[in-house]
Chain A
Amino acid sequence: MSYTVKENKMLGEKYYTFKHKSGLEVFVFPKNMTTSYAIFATRYGAVDNRFKLDTDKEFTSVPDGIAHFLEHKMFECENGIDAFERYAKTGANANAFTGNNLTGYIFSCTENFYESLEILLDFVTHPYFTEKTVQKEQGIIGQEIKMYEDNPGTRLHRELLKALYKKNKMRVDIAGTVDSIAEITAEILYKCYNTFYNLRNMTLAVCGDVTPKEVEEICDKVLKTAENITVIRDTEDEDEPKEVYKKRAVCKLDVSKPIMAIGVKDVNIPKDVKERTKKAYATEILDEILFSQSSDFYNKLYSQNLISQDLSSGCEITKNCSFNVISAETSDPERVYSEFCEYVEEMKKKGLDKEAFELSKRTVYASNIKSFDSVEDIANNFIFNYFDGADILDTPEIINSITLEYVTDLLNDTFKEEYYAMSIVEPIGKDK
């Protein structure tokens, strides 16, 4: 088979890609590292809780948290030997994760790569669930859910999404709740598996001391041709209002000081993927101008000891959602919020500084290049971007194309009070 090659000479990175006869798309990044890494991912995550095949009449609704539950259960095999035990023989370090829109099975290793790849492709294509194994997992995941409930960072982010969105399925907790996972049965797991773990809905990306030819040989050995099915996902969440659903979300946990996150909701998501990527990186540059340690805002709050060391920002802009988050630990969230609103309005009036823009652009450019120092980051970033339609090898050029004017427009269009919500995690009063 011949492979398509894509290269970015400035970065010194390239990949080979091919569509395997089974229907699976494969990407191979050769990289001179001791570790090699693979991610086998499906376009299926926490948001996919209502779906049907084009041949079905009705939509099927499934319990929240099922994609994550399924991820756990995939590691068990019919012969009683779980995937971790199989990997143990090759020495690979394996794991998996579930996001809003994808589930990824990963391993890294410093030897026996192809044996491990064979295990990966094999166990993810061979589900095995029984009522008994499902019950056992309800105990383990129940503990995992409780662990996250105690985690201030996780709670802060989760509650923020629930405040920003009224309908968007980003509201769904990835692990579900103790009650929702109690409804899961082996039968529903098989239904989800058969719908979403179709090779045509999946992608394999590997990075390290590997060749496309050998990867293809392993695919030949393990993978059977996938059925052609058409899945329809319920998209009732698409007519999301522009404004935020709730202005405030407050929860109480055992923390020393309040932590807060201001979310900026944006429903204008560019359909064109290059435009979307551009918008995402421009938002990063804008955040760096407005909120980095060089900014007036940060230095004002910091010198008044209103915030602790970090004022962090981050955005997520994909096909399905677009929001920007600024978070901090502070003694007075409402005061930081009003300072934030005032500051942004002032910046709009004043206009952005050319020098601050250039410096911030350097920062974003550099952090992107740094992400190519790890086989894991390369493959994971590739999958995250690819599932959204983008290609990481195009990123440096897209960042270079961003201008001060573009970023200024972004500031004026997205930063408006009606698009802000704030999530706060407050300390539990000790004296009760």
Chain B
Amino acid sequence: MKTRIIEIAKGVKLNYINTDKFKTNYVSFNFVAPLTKKDAHYNAMLPLIMMRACEKYPSQAEINKRLQYLYSGDIGARNDAFGEYQIFGMKVNMLNNRFTPDTDVTIETIDLLCQMIFKPYLVNGVFDKEFTNGEKINLIDTIEAEINNKGKYAIKRLMSEMCKDEVYGISNYGSVEDVEKITSESLYDAYQRALKTYNIEIYVVGDCDIDAVCQKFKENFDTIERAPIEVERTPIVEKATSIKEVVDIENVQQGKLVLGFRTGYDYKENKYHLLQLFNEIYGGSPTAKLFMNVREKMSLCYYCRSMVNQRTGIMLVSSGVEAKNKEIAQNAIVEQLDMIKNGEITDEEFINAKKSIKNGYMSIYDSAEAMETWVFLRSLCDIITTPKDECEKIAKTTIKEIEEIANRITLDTVYFLKGEEKEEK
């Protein structure tokens, strides 16, 4: 998974991962912005307004017809929070030219992408009012619809409560009130700010004429004066001092329990493999302690899993349980963690977890998007490594090291999304 890095402009890098195993090429164009309450909603709006219309294709229908002509490269908006970063932009997956003898799909699709990013549809020098209003309504819908997926919603609620004083608690969509204040003018300012001051990472995964692709992007940056800003780091909270409890009541059949832990892990340690291996043993797979005990032995829930974030050092455990079982489930989840802290990991569990991680890591090579995400997120943590390298580190890891990392973990916040009280039978 060699990545060739080509500088396109100041603070603009193109990362090319060359592989011929796919029938498609994957391209993503990403602004890497600081995640702030002030700008998150603007950054969330930008991909939407760019995809709505551009100078050459001044309506969504025209953009889409062009895409269909180009064998429907599916262009999608991106807007992710990753620690202190908000990563937003667009990604597209297109057919390799060998299946489209009549069209150079690669260059033409990238050209369309550039039209949308660099040549937006403007009226009197700012975004069109009607389009801006339309996309505002859409973004508000998206924010309001977050509650439709109860599991994700519960995680988001936990993060906002647990990280009230950290940037990690900021929503990458912004709030409804913030979005309502956006105007065509202020959105255009945000657009200029993005083009001029945010770092930009372009990823190309597949097999194509990369020089021509670079040339296409370079042309577009010619007239832009870039002054990229650096994203400030948030100090890592090493330990929780007390346990916060938060309960929301909604009309649901099944409660959602989310526990937020501090691992104290700092990505500068460059030992993410330890955290991942710990997570695998604890709650990352169907043979993990959480699954085997809280689900299988205690029959309390359909899912109970843990996940770790390499950038924030936060671990979440999420589970769907009935209100009456909440305390039992919570205690069981903590108890399983205590076991790892006491080194109660069997050799079998340990070897199995290693195999399972290896399987996950190696399968990254089979997905263009997974390869991109692997390289991208790690590069934001100043880490250059391949899945193969990480497998070797995992192979050498000892139970003692896992025990040590587990002992750094403290419970910070417990969030429960509870159904409305019904009379118990």
A interface residues with partner B (beta carbon < 8 Å):
12, 32-35, 82, 84-85, 87-94, 108-111, 136, 139-141, 143-144, 146-147, 149-150, 152, 253-257, 288, 292-296, 298-299, 302-303, 305, 308-309, 329, 359-360, 362-363, 365-367, 369-370, 372-375, 428
Question: Are B366 and A35 neighbours in the complex by a CB distance under 8 Å?
Answer: yes
Q: Which A residues are in CB contact (< 8 Å) with B302?
A: 140-141, 143-144, 147
Assuming the A-B contacts A294-B64, A366-B71, are A93 and B21 also in contact, with contact meaning beta carbons closer than 8 angstroms in the complex?
A: no
Q: Which A residues are in CB contact (< 8 Å) with B296?
A: 82
Assuming the A-B contacts A110-B359, A150-B254, are A257 and B64 also in contact, with contact meaning beta carbons closer than 8 angstroms in the complex?
A: no
Which of the listed residues A33, A303, A370 has the most CB atoms from chain B within 10 Å of its own CB?
A370
From 96 to 143 in chain B, residues with beta carbon under 8 angstroms from any chain A beta carbon are 99, 130, 134, 137-138, 141-142
> How many Å from the CB of A301 to the closest CB on chain B?
11
B150 in the interface (beta carbon within 8 A): yes
> With the chains together, A152 CA to B146 CA distance in Å?
12
Question: Are A35 and B24 neighbours in the complex by a CB distance under 8 Å?
Answer: no
Question: Are A305 and B352 neighbours in the complex by a CB distance under 8 Å?
Answer: no
Question: Are A150 and B252 neighbours in the complex by a CB distance under 8 Å?
Answer: yes
> How many Å from the CB of A123 to the closest CB on chain B?
14
Contact code string B76-103 (vs A, CB < 8 Å = 1, else 0): 0000000000000000010100010000
**Total chain B interface residues with beta-carbon distance under 8 A:** 60
Contacts A256-B144, A308-B138, A359-B69 aside, 13 further interface pairs with beta carbons under 8 A come to A87-B287, A88-B285, A91-B355, A91-B356, A93-B360, A109-B359, A111-B358, A139-B300, A140-B302, A147-B320, A302-B134, A305-B138, A367-B72
Question: Are B295 and A88 neighbours in the complex by a CB distance under 8 Å?
Answer: no
> How many Å from the CB of B297 to the closest CB on chain A?
9
> With the chains together, A372 CA to B21 CA distance in Å?
11
Contact code string B171-215 (vs A, CB < 8 Å = 1, else 0): 000000000000000000000000000000000000000000000
Contact of B252 among A254, A293, A359 (CB under 8 A): A254
Question: Are A140 and B299 neighbours in the complex by a CB distance under 8 Å?
Answer: yes
B interface residues with partner A (beta carbon < 8 Å):
21-24, 59-61, 63-65, 68-69, 71-72, 93, 95, 99, 130, 134, 137-138, 141-142, 144-148, 150, 250-254, 285-287, 295-296, 299-303, 320-322, 348, 351-352, 355-356, 358-360, 362-363, 365-367
> How many Å from the CB of B318 to the closest CB on chain A?
12
Question: Are B68 and A254 neighbours in the complex by a CB distance under 8 Å?
Answer: no
Smallest CB-CB separation from A296: which chain B residue?
B61
Contact of B299 among A139, A146, A303, A428 (CB under 8 A): A139
Question: Are B148 and A256 neighbours in the complex by a CB distance under 8 Å?
Answer: yes
Smallest CB-CB separation from B295: which chain A residue?
A140
> With the chains together, A85 CA to B287 CA distance in Å?
6
Assuming the A-B contacts A152-B148, A370-B23, A373-B24, are A146 and B68 also in contact, with contact meaning beta carbons closer than 8 angstroms in the complex?
A: no
Contact of A372 among B23, B68, B93 (CB under 8 A): B23
> With the chains together, A152 CA to B147 CA distance in Å?
11
> How many Å from the CB of B360 to the closest CB on chain A?
7
Contact of A295 among B61, B72, B147 (CB under 8 A): B61
Assuming the A-B contacts A91-B358, A92-B359, are A143 and B68 also in contact, with contact meaning beta carbons closer than 8 angstroms in the complex?
A: no
Interface residues of B, dominant DSSP: helix
Question: Are A360 and B287 neighbours in the complex by a CB distance under 8 Å?
Answer: no
> With the chains together, A140 CA to B93 CA distance in Å?
38
Assuming the A-B contacts A111-B358, A374-B366, are A257 and B145 also in contact, with contact meaning beta carbons closer than 8 angstroms in the complex?
A: yes
> With the chains together, A292 CA to B147 CA distance in Å?
27
Q: Which B residues are in CB contact (< 8 Å) with A298?
A: 61
Q: List 29 A-B contacts (CB under 8 A).
A: A84-B287, A88-B352, A89-B352, A93-B356, A94-B286, A110-B358, A110-B363, A111-B362, A139-B300, A140-B299, A140-B301, A143-B254, A143-B301, A143-B321, A143-B322, A146-B322, A147-B254, A149-B253, A254-B147, A254-B252, A255-B145, A256-B146, A257-B141, A294-B64, A305-B137, A359-B65, A362-B68, A365-B71, A366-B71
Question: Are B363 and A34 neighbours in the complex by a CB distance under 8 Å?
Answer: yes
Assuming the A-B contacts A91-B359, A147-B320, A373-B22, are A309 and B286 also in contact, with contact meaning beta carbons closer than 8 angstroms in the complex?
A: no
> With the chains together, A338 CA to B40 CA distance in Å?
38
> How many Å from the CB of A362 to the closest CB on chain B?
5
> How many Å from the CB of B82 to the closest CB on chain A?
23
> How many Å from the CB of A76 to the closest CB on chain B?
10
Q: Which B residues are in CB contact (< 8 Å) with A136?
A: 299
Question: Are A370 and B24 neighbours in the complex by a CB distance under 8 Å?
Answer: yes
> With the chains together, A292 CA to B287 CA distance in Å?
43
Contact of B68 among A309, A363, A375 (CB under 8 A): A363
Q: Which B residues are in CB contact (< 8 Å) with A360?
A: 68
Smallest CB-CB separation from A425: which chain B residue?
B148
Which of the listed residues B65, B285, B322 has the most CB atoms from chain A within 10 Å of its own CB?
B65
> With the chains together, A136 CA to B150 CA distance in Å?
25
